[in-house]
């Protein structure tokens, strides 16, 4: 059976981008057709300036939202990265396979390092090595597929390179995974800056729709989205990024196609109103379920406990095999 792994970082409130680019596919498709693992990758949240209590709170919230979005622990494994030691164990081995140059070429490293410096902070070494830990997350489980938004394509490519290199040097140990992306909304853009990805750790509030935003807040944000200087509604990501982003969001939320929808609207106002309503409707059931789950924190904790146990059992043999293959003496 195909094995699928993907993760989400507790670095902020989950966004519409996270939902449309990743979580929705996990719930609607992946958990039904594959042996799927979904991880709250909390170690990755420590790569940038962080508040310990907030990371803990956001980890719980992310777990609750994944379940609210439809992940079913009877169908898939939901767990927290730091509960399973194999991720950190394997990450070190992969650091011995990856190169410094490779890490410095990662777009996300360049962007996030520049942001940390702009904010007056220093760049943590773990931000540079982040993609290696991500490779470990994936390779530890022998995942065939990694369903992600398209901003993660470069990291999955690196994961493939590391898997192939390790296998060639030390003998076949890892499955070489591939990224999969949704056909629409694989990169939801910031509503206030449609040339930048909507990211949960960015600080431009009005450009980011959070999964827990009240309907009125969603409407305001969408209606105030920055559009382009033209008047007619056409789908063109290059010359009309603002309108294209709204059309993609609308298409993803209403089941249409962004090009076709472009021909349907005569004004930006109508497009924004319909997009806002479509988003509100998509978020409604997630928010309702989230509220129910918040009333039962013991359930979420239990899911994470079982998930970690399953994840440990699934990753241990591969990571142990990697230890042997690379030349470490077995503990006996």
Whole-number Cα distances in Å, 314 to 17, 37, 140? 29, 10, 8
Site map for ligand ATP, 9-38, x if CB under 6 A?
A: x-xx--x-xx--xx----------------
User: How many binding residues for ligand ATP (CB under 6 A)?
Assistant: 22
Task: Pick the catalytic residue from 110, 197, 272, 291.
Answer: 197
Work out the widest C-alpha separation in the chain, in whole angstroms.
72
Residue 322: closest CA among 171, 210, 205: 171
Instruction: Respond yes or no: is residue 112 known to be catalytic.
Output: yes
Instruction: Respond yes or no: is residue 200 known to be catalytic.
Output: yes
Query: Does the annotation place 17 within a ligand binding site?
Result: yes
Pick the binder of ligand ATP from 152, 173, 315, 318 (CB under 6 A).
Answer: 152
Strands 145-147 and 76-80, by their bridges, are unpaired
The smaller minimum CB distance to ligand ATP, of residues 2 and 99, is found at 2
For residues 168-197, which are near ligand ATP according to CB under 6 A? Answer: 186-188, 197
Pinpoint the alpha helices (H) of 31-75: 31-33, 52-68
The smaller minimum CB distance to ligand ATP, of residues 241 and 322, is found at 241
Q: How far apart are CA 59 and CA 310, in angstroms?
A: 19
**How many residues can be counted in the chain?**
332
8 binding ligand ATP? (CB under 6 A): yes
Q: How far apart are CA 24 and CA 69, in angstroms?
A: 7
Region at 100 (left for phi over 0; alpha for psi -120 to 50; beta for the rest): alpha
308 binding ligand ATP? (CB under 6 A): no
Question: ∠313-316-318 over CA atoms, to 5°?
Answer: 125
Residue 6: closest CA among 71, 95, 56: 71
The smaller minimum CB distance to ligand ATP, of residues 26 and 323, is found at 26
Query: Does the annotation place 18 within a ligand binding site?
Result: yes
Where does this chain touch ligand ATP (CB under 6 A) — which range of 3-11, 264-272, 288-296, 311-319?
Answer: 3-11
What are the residues binding ligand ATP (CB under 6 A)? Answer: 6, 8-9, 11-12, 15, 17-18, 21-22, 148-149, 151-152, 186-188, 197-201
Q: Which residues are catalytic?
A: 112, 197, 200
């Amino acid at each position: 059976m195909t094995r699928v792994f993907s993760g989400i970082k507790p670095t902020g409130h989950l966004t519409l981008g996270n939902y449309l680019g990743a979580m929705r596919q996990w719930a609607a498709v992946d958990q039904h057709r594959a042996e799927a693992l979904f991880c709250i990758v909390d170690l990755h949240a420590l790569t940038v300036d962080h508040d310990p209590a907030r990371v803990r709170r956001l980890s719980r919230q992310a777990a609750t939202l994944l379940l609210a979005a439809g992940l079913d622990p009877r169908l898939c494994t939901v767990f927290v990265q730091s509960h399973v030691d194999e991720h950190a164990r394997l990450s070190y081995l992969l650091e011995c396979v990856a190169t410094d140059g490779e890490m410095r070429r990662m777009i996300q490293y360049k962007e996030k390092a520049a942001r940390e410096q702009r904010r007056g902070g220093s760049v943590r070494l773990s931000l540079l090595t982040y993609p290696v830990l991500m490779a470990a997350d994936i390779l530890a489980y022998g995942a065939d597929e990694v369903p992600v938004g398209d901003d993660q394509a470069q990291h999955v490519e690196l994961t493939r390179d590391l898997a192939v290199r390790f296998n060639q040097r030390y003998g076949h140990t890892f499955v070489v995974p591939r990224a999969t992306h949704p056909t629409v909304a694989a990169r939801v853009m910031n509503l206030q800056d449609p040339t930048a990805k909507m990211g949960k750790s960015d600080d431009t509030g009005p450009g980011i729709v959070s999964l827990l935003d009240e309907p009125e807040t969603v409407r305001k944000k969408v209606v105030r989205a920055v559009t382009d200087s033209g008047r007619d509604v056409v789908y063109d990501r290059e010359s009309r990024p603002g309108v294209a982003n709204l059309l993609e969001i609308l298409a993803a939320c209403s089941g249409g196609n962004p090009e076709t929808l472009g021909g349907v609207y005569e004004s930006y106002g109508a497009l924004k109103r319909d997009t806002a309503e479509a988003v509100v409707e998509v978020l409604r059931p997630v928010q309702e379920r989230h509220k129910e789950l918040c009333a039962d924190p013991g359930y979420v904790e239990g899911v994470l406990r079982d998930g970690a146990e399953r994840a440990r059992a699934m990753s241990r043999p591969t990571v142990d095999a990697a230890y042997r293959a690379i030349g470490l003496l077995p503990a006996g």
